[in-house]
A = this chain, B = another copy of it.
Amino acid sequence: MLKNFKILLQYEGTKYQGWQRQDSTGNTIQGKLESILCKMTGSETVSVNGSGRTDAGVHALGQTANFKIETDKSKDQVMHYINQYLPEDIGVISIEEMPDRFHSRLNAKGKIYQYRIWNSDLPCVFERRYVYELPDKLDIDAMRAAAGHLVGKHDFKAFTSSKKSKKSTIRTINSIVVECQGKEVVLTYEGDGFLYHMVRIITGTLIEVGRGTRTPKSVVKLLDKDASREMAGALVPAKGLCLMEVRY
Q: Which residues of A contact B (CB under 8 A)?
A: 10-12, 59, 61, 83, 86, 88-93, 122-126, 128, 130
A87 to chain B, nearest CB (A): 10
Between-chain CB contacts (< 8 Å), 6 pairs: A10-B123, A61-B126, A88-B128, A89-B128, A91-B122, A91-B125
Closest 5 CB pairs of A and B: A91-B123, A10-B125, A91-B125, A93-B122, A88-B128
Chain B contacts of A123 at CB under 8 A? 10, 83, 86, 88, 90-93
**Candidates B10, B92, B125; contact of A126 at CB < 8 Å:** B10
> Complex: how many Å from CA A123 to CA B94?
10
Tell me the nearest residue of chain B to A80, going by C-beta.
Answer: B121
A108 to chain B, nearest CB (A): 21
A133 to chain B, nearest CB (A): 9
Chain B contacts of A92 at CB under 8 A? 123
**Candidates B88, B124, B125; contact of A125 at CB < 8 Å:** B88
> Complex: how many Å from CA A10 to CA B93?
30
A65 to chain B, nearest CB (A): 15
Tell me the nearest residue of chain B to A91, going by C-beta.
Answer: B123
Chain B contacts of A59 at CB under 8 A? 126
> Complex: how many Å from CA A90 to CA B88?
23
A129 to chain B, nearest CB (A): 9
A118 to chain B, nearest CB (A): 11
Interface centre among A11, A83, A93, A126 (most CB of B within 10 A): A126
Chain B contacts of A10 at CB under 8 A? 123, 125-126
> Complex: how many Å from CA A123 to CA B87?
10
Check B126 against A130 for contact (C-beta < 8 Å): yes
Given contacts A59-B126, A83-B122, A126-B130, 16 further A-B contacts (CB under 8 A): A10-B123, A10-B126, A11-B125, A12-B125, A12-B126, A83-B123, A86-B123, A88-B123, A88-B128, A89-B125, A89-B128, A91-B122, A91-B123, A92-B123, A93-B122, A93-B123
Interface centre among A11, A90, A93 (most CB of B within 10 A): A93
Interface centre among A86, A123, A128 (most CB of B within 10 A): A123
Tell me the nearest residue of chain B to A124, going by C-beta.
Answer: B91
Chain B contacts of A90 at CB under 8 A? 123, 125
> Complex: how many Å from CA A109 to CA B10?
41
A243 to chain B, nearest CB (A): 13
